[in-house]
Structure 1
Amino acid sequence: MKIKHIDGILLKKMIMQAKNSLEANKNTVDSLNVFPVPDGDTGTNMALTMNAAAKEVQNVKYIKIEDIAEAAANGSLMGARGNSGVILSQLFRGFAKGCKGKEKLTTADIALALKNASDTAYKAVMKPIEGTILTVAREIGEKAVELSKREDDMEKFLENVIVHAEGVLMKTPDMLKVLKQAGVVDAGGKGLIFIMKGFYEAVANKETVVEIPENVQVIEHEGIEEQGEIHFGYCTEFIIRGKNIEIENFKEAIGSYGDCMLVVGDENLVKVHIHTNHPGEIIEKGLQLGELINIKIDNMRHQHQNRIFEGENAHETSTVKEYGMIAVTMGKGLTDIFKDLNVDEIIVGGQTMNPSTEDIKKAIDRISAQNIFIFPNNSNIIMAANQAKELSEKNIIVIPTRTVPQGIAAVLAFNAEEGIEENREAMTKAINSVKTGQVTYSVRDTHWNDIEIKKGNILGMQDGEIKRVGTHVDEVSFMLLKDMISEDAEMLTIFYGEDIDGNRAQQLADKVAEMYEDVEIEVYYGGQPLYYYIFSVE
């Protein structure tokens, strides 16, 4: 039967099925990431953002078109993770604008909403790049407008839009050199097509069922319910280090033990977060898969009571200071370093675990300060930080730090006696004076700048560019440092990760010291996962 109109009930089904489609195919999207390092994968970030949108839609009481669209926009806005998630939230925001005042949607109405989605997303990105999700979104909107003039059958209309979008996606390697070098299409564009396929499947009555994960919290000390009874009392977090870990099987094994579950990573390293009443049983199941590190169990009921007590007595002690600071990082050593530098809030996140807009907004809310500096310390978190800034009534200054060394340098440049602009200028200058090196491993076979890279190779990167590829951590690390240390270099700081012994890090420092006698070298335990070393050269 031909469907000519979409009502609120069907729109709700479309968004829920879009979530199912993306959730079922997020690993496919993840596999298209160009850069072969362990990072905040596009598919995972888009799926988590879409899950937040779907959960908000699921809670809508009145089945009105604009209420459903607005709920999806709000949910994706707060749940946005990574650059792809932020762009997706802007697409939903534009889509919602096109649905305002509509009781039913025709193909012309859907086309207008899709066109608005693309226009809004383009405006949100400072320097739009063609060959990305933005290109696919624009082509979807333009093709939809064209098709709507002659097609009123919603099923055929969406089917033809998707066919066109897939054709555009196949051309993205011709638009973006890095895609062609890696032999892949754009990951974000692929994710968007899975969302469109979800829309089509709902209209064509070909829905599948995938459970919506509970809202995920990744902020340190977060996860406490603000109202009502806490059903699962222990916030349990740890990392599993093993081989050939089946993430989906593990999620199924622990899913019934609690809520607010997050299980992300790859076959060798998995980050686990869950609220449960049986942390011991969760840990036992993790031990069956490998070694456990960074174990943390918090009694949320106890924390909740303390928070209530502190809230009741806040009027006695609360003061609003002039400046506050938020930093994003992973690893106990790096966390302690930022705390020692008087950073107020540490958001546990970074590679493979990008915090959401809501995570950052909650950290902002917890700081009693007039002006708050945010240090994302990851290029994939800057957009979410800026989105959180727009949602806050406080004066938020996002310092666009892309690495931990940049973040530390920026914090060290802070002067409480100076004004906001003076501090911004000093921090920006500090960022530009730091070279960042990172040593990690490749998660996939690929080509990068004509270099053939195999899965498991050790990668040495300087400021985001792969400079060295090899098979031994120590050798790649030393060669990378030789590339980084120039004649005018004065200081090298080595932060060693959780997989590196302190003696081994010191041996590397000693070897560098023999070659560069005028360079001051400091070695610190960073405890960061995924990266064997992080280097800072000034």
Structure 2
Amino acid sequence: MLALLDASAVRRWCSAAVEGLDARRGEIDDLNVYPIPDGDTGTNLSLTMHGAADSVAADRSGTVGGVLAAMAKGALLGARGNSGVIVSQIISGLAQAFDGAVEADGRLLVKGLRLASDAAYAAVAEPVEGTMLSVVRASAEAVEQLGECPELAAAVSAAAAGAATALAGTPRQLAVLAEAGVVDAGGCGLLVLLEALATVVTGQGSPAPAQRTPARSRLALEMVREAGSPEYGYEVQYLLHAPETALAPLKATLAELGDSLVVVGSGDGLFNVHVHVNDVGAAIEAGVEAGRPHRITVVRFADQVAAQPTGTGRSGTALVTVAPGDGLGDLFRSEGVSVVEGSSDSGVPTVAQVLDEILRTGAAQVILLPNASTVREVAEAAAAQAREQGVSVAVVPTKSPVQGLAAVAVHDETRRFEDDVIALAEAAAATRFAEVTIAVDDSITYAGRCSAGDVLGLIDGEVVEIGADIAEVGTSLVRRLVAAGGELVTVLAGADPGAEAAAQAVHGYLRSEHPLVEVGVFTGGQPRFPLLIGVE
């Protein structure tokens, strides 16, 4: 049992929260009174916390405040849907209370949960009781009843217990929950997070989840949305770099355009904006007037509902891949692969985009290639939803487009589906991959300290080279990879200036030093990575 919460404990909490949400994602989705695939609360919360976990994994802080700040920033950047944005703000409230602390006791947790509750309510333009807002407030109030400085274990236990009681009461606060026979989905997800924290602190496992009363029918679940009214047909969400002074006019404009408005920030000029509207262009234009919006996603609710197939009339096998960049897309399409382009900024598509492409193929069996670790969770979520609609989907865990290309090369429609999946997975695993990218911040890597603007060389996701020239770093990476053996090298030139010349420089090195190695150089046009290199 922990008397103090330290950096290691927060890291364990983040991991436990991810595991808990992954395990109960389907249950929380089923509670959801929101029929849109990309809006399922369990999926959104799971993806949000995976974003938090990725940020924590990259963080090197040794204090509880530092790790919580990284967790909050990752949740903000990875927030999906209304529920994900609110959870990111709850974590941000905790981080604010723990700021500067090496370790945290029960006193700081009392302060943190109050700030978390206040921040969550402040983020929502029109707070509604009977939602996760009620659950986080009840959690804070339960801890406050213990006094100003309770023991940490008692505080986290009270927080989880208070949240559980409030969750059970949500149907009495929100009529649509009572009509559907369910508790609030977002509140259930928040309880998973608090129970995970209690487990880490007390060392005792969470109690078995209460058996939720199932909805009387799927139609009951589809009566209304999780947030907002059916008057508005589109969900618009984006990250926004803007000054604090621009927020009030932005909120006023978006409030006039629609509902389900949530705007939260990280304190450094970065905000996550979520709203339901009919005029998508006006919602995005409001962001442009306020600052610089990016990672923009738009979901048309009616399309998502209409896209649900009956599971009949499908046949054959199809390949679907994520390939940001025109050149990459053309390479895969030339092999008969259906392509999801993803965001031009991050390369990560939404669950809805991937699901739509799976369903569009008309195939009964689909092999899905995410081609990036950051896309894996989105691919798994889309695959799970497709399976519920009668499509057999297997995700081959490709971590780079060069692994995806290697997998596609061995695809054989005449094989049994299961055997073909294994063959593609083996081909991908046998392909070592390297990436050249540009550092955006000063940082410490396994190869030493880097500064913003440095050229970084990664092998299998780890930084092994730091330099100043794309061609030189790319050549060094190839030298390392080929030294361990290889017969075929694939080089993909990205969208960055100088990427094509750097790819040709790598080709020239191989022709000179390794003339027996087959080399293929292609224009990928991918963002963020001037060079992608694969060795088979």
Aligned counterpart, 1:479: 476
Partner letter of residue 533 of structure 2?
A: F
Shift of 1:289: 8.0
Question: Does structure 2 retain, via aligned residues, the 8 Å contact 1:495–1:534?
Answer: yes
- 1:76-127, Cα deviation, whole Å (9 max, x unpaired): xxxxxxxxxxxxxxxxxx999956982389xxxxxx979972699xxxxxxx
Cα distance in 1 for partners of 2:458, 2:467 equals 12
Q: Decide whether aligned partners of structure 1 residues 251 and 369 sit closer, same or farther in structure 2, where only a CA change above 3 A counts.
A: farther
- 1:22-55, Cα deviation, whole Å (9 max, x unpaired): xxxxx9999766279xxxx723344335645759
Cα distance in 2 for partners of 1:363, 1:369 equals 11
Which stretches in structure 2 are left out of the alignment for 5+ residues? 1-50, 61-72, 88-120, 136-159, 172-186, 208-226
Aligned counterpart, 1:458: 455
Q: What secondary structure sits across from 1:348 in the alignment? A: coil
Cα distance in 1 for partners of 2:53, 2:378 equals 20
TM-score (norm 2): 0.52
Q: Does 1:419 align with 2:416?
A: yes
Partner letter of residue 58 of structure 2?
A: V
Aligned counterpart, 2:79: 47
Cα distance in 1 for partners of 2:521, 2:283 equals 35
TM-score (norm 1): 0.52
Identity %: 19
Shift of 1:356: 4.0
Cα distance in 1 for partners of 2:263, 2:81 equals 13
Q: Does 1:102 align with 2:168?
A: yes
Aligned counterpart, 2:504: 506
Question: Does structure 2 retain, via aligned residues, the 8 Å contact 1:328–1:350?
Answer: no
Q: Decide whether aligned partners of structure 1 residues 514 and 363 sit closer, same or farther in structure 2, where only a CA change above 3 A counts.
A: same
Q: Identify the match of residue 117 of structure 1 among 192, 198, 222.
A: 192
Q: Does 1:407 align with 2:404?
A: yes
Partner letter of residue 373 of structure 1?
A: I
Q: What secondary structure sits across from 2:349 in the alignment? A: coil
Q: Identify the match of residue 529 of structure 1 among 521, 527, 531.
A: 527
Aligned counterpart, 2:433: 436
Cα distance in 1 for partners of 2:125, 2:361 equals 30
Question: Does structure 2 retain, via aligned residues, the 8 Å contact 1:115–1:138?
Answer: no
Q: Identify the match of residue 340 of structure 1 among 334, 338, 347.
A: 334
Aligned counterpart, 2:373: 379
- 1:294-315, Cα deviation, whole Å (9 max, x unpaired): 9x999x9xx98xx99x99xx99
Q: Decide whether aligned partners of structure 1 residues 277 and 382 sit closer, same or farther in structure 2, where only a CA change above 3 A counts.
A: closer
Q: Decide whether aligned partners of structure 1 residues 344 and 231 sit closer, same or farther in structure 2, where only a CA change above 3 A counts.
A: closer
Partner letter of residue 169 of structure 2?
A: E
Aligned counterpart, 1:360: 354
- 1:201-255, Cα deviation, whole Å (9 max, x unpaired): xxxxxxxxxxxxx99xxxxxxxxxxx988789xx999x99xxxx75878988988
Shift of 1:535: 0.7
Shift of 1:343: 2.0
Q: Decide whether aligned partners of structure 1 residues 442 and 101 sit closer, same or farther in structure 2, where only a CA change above 3 A counts.
A: closer
Q: What secondary structure sits across from 1:488 in the alignment? A: coil
Q: What RMSD, in angstroms, separates the aligned Cα atoms of the two structures? A: 6.0
Question: Does structure 1 retain, via aligned residues, the 8 Å contact 2:297–2:350?
Answer: no
Q: Decide whether aligned partners of structure 1 residues 427 and 496 sit closer, same or farther in structure 2, where only a CA change above 3 A counts.
A: same
Question: Does structure 2 retain, via aligned residues, the 8 Å contact 1:442–1:457?
Answer: yes
Cα distance in 2 for partners of 1:270, 1:327 equals 30
My pick for the range that moved more, 324-333 or 352-361, is 352-361
Cα distance in 1 for partners of 2:233, 2:190 equals 43
Kindly report which structure 2 residues correspond to 1:178-327, keeping only aligned pairs within 5 A, or say none.
Answer: 256=253, 276-277=280-281, 320-327=314-321
Shift of 1:467: 1.1
Partner letter of residue 433 of structure 1?
A: A
Aligned residue-pair number: 369
Question: Does structure 1 retain, via aligned residues, the 8 Å contact 2:320–2:337?
Answer: yes
Cα distance in 2 for partners of 1:271, 1:329 equals 25
Q: Does 1:138 align with 2:162?
A: no
Cα distance in 1 for partners of 2:361, 2:190 equals 39
Cα distance in 2 for partners of 1:530, 1:262 equals 27
Aligned counterpart, 2:143: none
Cα distance in 2 for partners of 1:435, 1:376 equals 16
Partner letter of residue 319 of structure 2?
A: M
Cα distance in 1 for partners of 2:131, 2:264 equals 33
Question: Does structure 2 retain, via aligned residues, the 8 Å contact 1:411–1:427?
Answer: yes
Question: Does structure 2 retain, via aligned residues, the 8 Å contact 1:33–1:42?
Answer: no
Question: Does structure 1 retain, via aligned residues, the 8 Å contact 2:447–2:463?
Answer: no
Question: Does structure 2 retain, via aligned residues, the 8 Å contact 1:376–1:400?
Answer: yes
Partner letter of residue 343 of structure 1?
A: V
My pick for the range that moved more, 349-358 or 136-145, is 136-145
Shift of 1:404: 1.2
Question: Does structure 2 retain, via aligned residues, the 8 Å contact 1:379–1:402?
Answer: yes
Question: Does structure 2 retain, via aligned residues, the 8 Å contact 1:377–1:404?
Answer: yes
Cα distance in 1 for partners of 2:273, 2:522 equals 26
Q: Decide whether aligned partners of structure 1 residues 519 and 262 sit closer, same or farther in structure 2, where only a CA change above 3 A counts.
A: farther
Shift of 1:328: 1.8
Aligned counterpart, 1:389: 383
